[in-house]
Amino acid sequence: MKSHERLLLENRAWAEETRQRDPGYFERLAADQRPKILWIGCSDSRVPADIIVNAEPGEIFAHRNIANQVVATDFNCLSVVQYAVQVLKVEHVIVCGHYNCGGVKASLDRQRPELSLLNKWLMHLKDIYRMHRDEVDRLESMTERTNRLVELNVIEQVRRLSHMSIIQTAWKNEQSPMLHGWVYALDDGILQQLVTLPAGSDVDVIYQEAESAI
């Protein structure tokens, strides 16, 4: 059986089992979503948000891209954040990276000419490496350097969220959401917390909105 056919078959079995266990399940879920969590994670197939935290459908609103980046000109990510914060009013935004991330590892190497688009996406990671080059280069192995940059990347992405007017306005008006940076270890399945920014945390003045227009 082809891999996509297996998915369709598994879907039928899952829907049937779920309906048998809880006959009203899909009707309830179809009516509304009230997730308290926005998850910004890596596209890596080994880090499926819902599964690693044992969450049910309806609990986590998610955006995933290569190396879990929050880029200020990425309308895809920004739209997800705006909808999650302003409409769904999530209480927590979690940026979750993972050790041995292929995107982070690639950013420590030269650009690959055949991956012209991906090279540009990885530029943001190269910038973070450049900002912390002394610290990262002190580490001996490629694995250690990659994994430290994975952590620095998560911390930087949480900070970038706090630079967004969407977040600053929500912090002022709703005292929410709380921002979190987590990292996942592929070899034992454990999440660690790296950074937490509660509503109202300090934001560098150059990223703050001016009080009023002149």
42 given a catalytic annotation: yes
Q: In the complex, what is the shortest distance from the CB of residue 68 to Co ion, in angstroms, rounded to a whole number? A: 7
134 given a catalytic annotation: no
Residue with Cβ nearer Co ion (94 or 101): 101
51-55 contacts, C-beta under 8 A, 24 or more apart: 52/184, 52/189, 52/191, 53/191
d(CA 98, CA 147) in angstroms, rounded, equals 8
Residue with Cβ nearer Co ion (175 or 192): 192
Residues lying near Co ion in the complex (CB under 5 A) are found at 42, 44, 101
98 given a catalytic annotation: yes
Lateral strand order in the sheet of 92-98: 60-65, 37-42, 92-98, 178-184, 191-197
Q: Pick the catalytic residue: 46, 112, 133, 138?
A: 46
Residue with Cβ nearer Co ion (93 or 101): 101
String of b and e for 57-78 (b: at least 16 CB within 10 Å)?
eebbbbbbbbbbbbeeebeebb
44 given a catalytic annotation: yes
Q: In the complex, what is the shortest distance from the CB of residue 88 to Co ion, in angstroms, rounded to a whole number? A: 25
Q: Pick the catalytic residue: 63, 98, 145, 160?
A: 98
Q: Pick the catalytic residue: 77, 101, 145, 148?
A: 101
Q: Among 80, 59, 47, which Cα is nearest to 164's?
A: 80
Q: In the complex, what is the shortest distance from the CB of residue 187 to Co ion, in angstroms, rounded to a whole number? A: 14
Q: Which residues are catalytic?
A: 42, 44, 46, 98, 101
